[in-house]
Amino acid sequence: MLELSISSSDRGNRATISRPLYGLTLILIFCCLFTSSANSTDNKPPRRIVSLNLCADELLVALAERPQIAALTRYARNPDMSLVSKEAQSLPFTYGGAEELLRLHPDLVITSSYSHAEILPLLKDRQVKIIDLPLANSLADIIAQIRIVALAVGHPERGEAAIQKMEKELRTLPPPMGHGRTAAYYQRQGYLSGTGSLIDDMMKKIGLKNLANNLNKSALSRLSLEEIVTYHPDFLIMGQKSYSTQDIGSQMLQHPLLKQAIPASHRLFIPAPLTLCGSPHYPEAIKILNKELETIDHPSR
């Protein structure tokens, strides 16, 4: 899920996403792109691509030529959110304003249906190709998105290479270490990732049961400190090992009651950028979580 430090206008709620409709949307996008490419007399790749989507930032860096990228989002340079923060330092970025976007003269814009809705009509009037990239909540979604973006930027072979590399990495992962135990991905302000979220998919891959699913929680929900202590999952999955004491939203994660109920020895840590977007780094996220469990179960290794 997208980190809560992103404004609500840039975030969207995974709880509102219908999985069947999501899959159909990806298929339709892919088919439309393929049809337009096959029927177009000018089959040249886009020359000025603008991303208004953090997840698209990462895919563009992986799949497009650098000169094709006219701008990434402002989040792309933030190492707390982006997996391509180093690469993004040398690439232009946009705040996503209408005037700024028009000055970039894009021929392809990758955006999200839950943000920048007021700008899209301006782009359509200028006959700019627009891709609405939904959130990826599973391995299948990630593969579909890689193919969509790779085809759109004119490098489908790079997409297939990335998919093959990812699938090979997944085949070489060690056995799942979860053994049916319960975990909760607990974040600042008590947010919990539930059914249909990317982290939920990752938990299943390593053999953990998501507490949020047991409680019939949606993809994005909240659970109070008292509730999380009462339900007492075997593990907490968290985005970082320490939080600023000045961050009010994170104070509850350092509360003595929570530390007593679920101590540090039962907390799994995964860098937040690996959970914000579905990306070719998916196997790395699975590997990290599995290794965290192995370290807890076998500290001497």
* Res 17 pLDDT > 80: no
CA gap 256, 259 in Å, rounded: 5
Tell me which of 4-8, 43-47, 154-158 is least confident: 4-8
CA gap 222, 193 in Å, rounded: 9
Per-residue tokens: 294 = 């192995």
Q: Which residues contact 164 (CB under 8 A, 6 or more apart)?
A: none
Are 49-172 and 182-297 equal in CATH topology?
A: yes
The pLDDT assigned to 29 comes to 47
Say if CB 92 and CB 69 are below 8 A apart.
Answer: yes
Portion of the chain with pLDDT greater than 70, in percent: 81
Domain boundaries, the chain: 49-172, 182-297
CA gap 276, 273 in Å, rounded: 5
CA gap 182, 28 in Å, rounded: 37
The pLDDT assigned to 251 comes to 76
Per-residue b or e along 212-234, where b marks 16 or more CB atoms closer than 10 Å to that residue's CB:
bbeeebbbbbebebeebeeeebb
CATH topology of domain 182-297: Rossmann fold (3.40.50)
Mean pLDDT of the chain: 83
Q: What is the mean pLDDT of residues 246-269?
A: 84
Start-to-end Cα distance in the chain: 32
Q: What is the mean pLDDT of residues 228-239?
A: 93
* Res 23 pLDDT > 80: no
Strand 129-132 versus strand 220-222 pairing type: unpaired
Bridge-partner residues for 220, per DSSP?
193
From the list 275, 124, 74, the residue with the least C-alpha distance to 192 is: 275
**Class for the domain spanning 49-172:** alpha beta
The pLDDT assigned to 139 comes to 95
Fill in the amino acid letter for 218: S
The pLDDT assigned to 220 comes to 85
Q: Among all chains, which residue has been given the structure tokens 């996503």?
A: 96
- The better pLDDT of the pair 60, 99 is held by 60
